[in-house]
């Protein structure tokens, strides 16, 4: 809370502005408005605290400008769904397009090019569910192989380790093979460049790209363009990766756009998916019965190639994924700004007003959830998932409405496959079950300092399984 002098100065200079918003509750602003709150704690914690203290609508001040924090499910539905065309995603496009390219629907303008970009996204096609189903086996094999390599490490930093494991699995899902580590290094350099712009305290014109940025970008997207050229030159009807599937179904898609979308897949999914896995294993360590149940469920299903049908025989793995997405959602802050003056929550807001939406408070709202602070996958069984479907008022880890995650369904397939593969192969012994520090990278929560030891649960059968999956005959099966 700003001191009396700071509050007095705010009122002296900007007090007249407060009158229009007098109906809304919120913390007293100081000379910098309420920015001090956001300097002291992660934005999702601040938004959740406002929700607990002031209810569904909180008026805050970003310096002299009013802003709104929403923790109200009905108003969030208005902004993200029913009236979504009135609200843009702020300046995220300016922050990340140098790294992600302009072709990703993630930064498309609602009122301008989103529909067109969404319509040509391979992840939003009628055939996308068939592609997703075909990824389960390849993702399992990719994760199993990465885990074998991690087993050689005495101790691992879980966030970067699972990030690389996820990157490698996504290479298989997108282009059908793991790519050299140098490609991962280029990807991380591009992501770090975007993150520096997202987190910049200075105007973006003062934020320089890191050394080697242009070359890394050319190499990263150039690699997908090269893979496309090769796949067009020698089409293989048996390949199930996204690139091959898209070439078959959408041969008219421009190769440059296609290469950009393949590269963009990694920015959309690697950080969010791996953070969710870290959260899941951190919670499972705290609740050994839940962890033992996951391992027991996974063991008989994973000793042969997994399929979507076999995943469906593993409701506990799905419940663990849902519960990790509820209690530790990887994407916790959604920003929106009205493109023109608008009325919301009974008040008129100028164009460009910052609206902050967080799922953290609603995902743990005690008036909605029983024991909300406890990791309890059982809440998702016996009709639990139907009561709180993805994208509903109190559960929206992938966002809500038409701009919700285009790959939410794929992400669920990946999380269930990765959880089952890891749990059957190793016990992930996390060193501390104390809450971990949460940083922020590329708009996604970044768990810090979560170290773990992997203990093998299996003997040689995983090795022979990996060899079997890696054989050309198995690939085309």
Q: Of residues 331, 390, 413, 450, which one binds ligand HEM by CB under 6 A?
A: 331
Establish if 194 lies at the interface with ligand HEM (CB under 6 A): no
Establish if 391 lies at the interface with ligand HEM (CB under 6 A): no
The shares of helix, strand and coil residues in the chain, as percent rounded to the nearest 5, are: 55, 10, 30
Contact indicator for 351, 328 with CB cutoff of 8 Å? no
Establish if 411 lies at the interface with ligand HEM (CB under 6 A): yes
Half-sphere exposure of 233 (CA within 13 A, CB side): 6
Contact indicator for 57, 361 with CB cutoff of 8 Å? no
The residue whose two tokens read 């967080």 is 358
Distance CA 330, CA 443 (A): 9
C-alpha distances in Å from residue 34, one per residue of 9, 22, 160, 357: 13, 16, 33, 16
Q: Of residues 334, 369, 380, 441, which one binds ligand HEM by CB under 6 A?
A: 334
Establish if 397 lies at the interface with ligand HEM (CB under 6 A): yes
Nearest to ligand HEM of 26, 268 (CB atom): 268
Nearest to ligand HEM of 8, 90 (CB atom): 90
Establish if 406 lies at the interface with ligand HEM (CB under 6 A): yes
Establish if 87 lies at the interface with ligand HEM (CB under 6 A): no
Contact indicator for 322, 68 with CB cutoff of 8 Å? no
Least Å from the CB of residue 467 to ligand HEM:
28
Nearest to ligand HEM of 174, 458 (CB atom): 174
Q: How many residues interact with ligand HEM (rule CB under 6 A)?
A: 25
Question: Which part of the chain contacts ligand HEM (CB under 6 A), choosing from 194-202, 268-276, 312-320, 450-458?
Answer: 268-276
Establish if 245 lies at the interface with ligand HEM (CB under 6 A): no
Nearest to ligand HEM of 32, 143 (CB atom): 143
Question: Which part of the chain contacts ligand HEM (CB under 6 A), choosing from 4-12, 143-151, 202-210, 270-278?
Answer: 270-278
Establish if 450 lies at the interface with ligand HEM (CB under 6 A): no
Label the pairing between strands 333-338 and 87-88: antiparallel
Binding to ligand HEM (CB under 6 A) within 99-128 occurs at 104-106, 118, 123
**Six token digits for residue 411:** 């992400």
User: Which of 205, 155, 204, 212 has its CA nearest to residue 187?
Assistant: 212
Least Å from the CB of residue 119 to ligand HEM:
11
Q: How far is CA 382 from the centre of its chain?
A: 27
Nearest to ligand HEM of 61, 106 (CB atom): 106
Query: Which strand (E) or helix (H) includes residue 98?
Result: helix 92-100
Establish if 279 lies at the interface with ligand HEM (CB under 6 A): no
Ramachandran angles phi, psi of 399, nearest 5°: 85, -170
Nearest to ligand HEM of 49, 332 (CB atom): 332
Query: Which strand (E) or helix (H) includes residue 65?
Result: strand 65-70
Residues 6 or more apart whose CB falls under 8 angstroms from that of 206 comprise: 200
Least Å from the CB of residue 331 to ligand HEM:
4
Establish if 265 lies at the interface with ligand HEM (CB under 6 A): yes
Establish if 405 lies at the interface with ligand HEM (CB under 6 A): yes
Establish if 388 lies at the interface with ligand HEM (CB under 6 A): no
Q: Of residues 7, 18, 83, 89, which one binds ligand HEM by CB under 6 A?
A: 89
Distance CA 132, CA 123 (A): 9
Residues 6 or more apart whose CB falls under 8 angstroms from that of 125 comprise: 249, 250
Nearest to ligand HEM of 189, 406 (CB atom): 406
Question: Which part of the chain contacts ligand HEM (CB under 6 A), choosing from 40-48, 329-337, 449-457, 469-477?
Answer: 329-337
C-alpha distances in Å from residue 185, one per residue of 5, 181, 193, 219: 49, 6, 12, 11
DSSP of 134-185? HHHHHHHHHHHHHHHHHTTSSSEEHHHHHHHHHHHHHHHHHHSS---HHHHH
Least Å from the CB of residue 183 to ligand HEM:
17
Least Å from the CB of residue 17 to ligand HEM:
28
The residue whose two tokens read 């990791």 is 375
**Six token digits for residue 134:** 């075909």
Establish if 457 lies at the interface with ligand HEM (CB under 6 A): no
Establish if 395 lies at the interface with ligand HEM (CB under 6 A): no
Establish if 138 lies at the interface with ligand HEM (CB under 6 A): no
Contact residues for ligand HEM (CB under 6 A)? 89, 104-106, 118, 123, 265, 268-269, 272-273, 276, 330-331, 334, 397-399, 403-407, 410-411
């Amino acid at each position: 809370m700003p001191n009396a002098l700071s509050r007095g100065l705010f009122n002296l200079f900007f007090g007249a502005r407060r009158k229009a918003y007098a109906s809304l509750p919120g913390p007293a602003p100081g000379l910098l408005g309420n920015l001090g709150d956001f300097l002291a704690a992660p934005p999702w914690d601040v938004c959740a605290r406002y929700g607990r203290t002031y209810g569904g609508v909180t008026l805050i001040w970003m310096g002299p400008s009013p802003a709104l924090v929403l923790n109200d499910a009905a108003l969030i539905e208005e902004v993200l769904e029913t009236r979504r065309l009135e609200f843009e995603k702020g300046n995220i496009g300016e922050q990340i397009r140098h790294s992600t390219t302009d072709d990703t629907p993630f930064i498309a303008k609602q009122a301008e090019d989103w529909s067109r970009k969404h319509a040509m996204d391979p992840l939003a096609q009628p055939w996308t569910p068939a592609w997703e189903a075909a990824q389960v086996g390849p993702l399992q094999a990719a994760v199993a192989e990465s885990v074998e390599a991690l087993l050689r490490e005495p101790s691992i930093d879980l966030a970067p380790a699972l990030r690389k494991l996820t990157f490698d699995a996504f290479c298989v899902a997108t282009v059908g093979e793991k790519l050299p580590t140098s490609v991962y290094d280029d990807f991380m350099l591009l992501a770090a460049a975007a993150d520096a712009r997202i987190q910049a305290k200075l105007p973006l014109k003062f934020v320089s790209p890191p050394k080697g940025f242009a070359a890394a970008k050319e190499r990263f997207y150039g690699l997908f363009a090269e893979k496309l050229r090769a796949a067009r030159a020698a089409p293989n009807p048996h390949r199930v990766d996204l690139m091959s599937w898209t070439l078959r179904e959408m041969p008219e898609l421009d190769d440059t756009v296609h290469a950009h979308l393949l590269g963009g897949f990694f920015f959309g999914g690697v950080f969010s998916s791996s953070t969710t896995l870290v959260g899941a294993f951190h919670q499972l360590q705290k609740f050994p019965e839940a962890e033992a149940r996951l391992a027991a469920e996974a063991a008989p299903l994973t000793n042969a190639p997994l399929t979507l049908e076999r995943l469906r025989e593993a409701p506990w793995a799905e419940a663990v994924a849902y519960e990790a997405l509820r209690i530790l959602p990887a994407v916790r802050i959604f920003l929106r700004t009205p493109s023109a003056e608008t009325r919301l929550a009974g008040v008129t807001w100028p164009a460009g007003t910052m609206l902050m939406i967080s799922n953290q408070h609603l995902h743990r709202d005690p008036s909605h959830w029983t024991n909300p602070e406890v990791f309890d996958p059982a809440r998702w069984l016996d009709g639990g998932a139907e009561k709180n479907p993805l994208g509903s008022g109190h559960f929206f880890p992938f966002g809500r409405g038409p701009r919700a995650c285009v790959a939410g369904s794929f992400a669920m397939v990946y999380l269930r496959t990765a959880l089952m593969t890891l749990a059957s192969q190793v016990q992930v012994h996390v060193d501390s079950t104390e809450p971990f520090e949460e940083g922020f990278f590329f708009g996604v929560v970044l768990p810090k300092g979560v170290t773990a030891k992997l203990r093998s649960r299996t003997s040689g059968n995983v090795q022979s399984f990996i060899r079997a999956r890696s054989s050309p005959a198995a690939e085309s099966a």
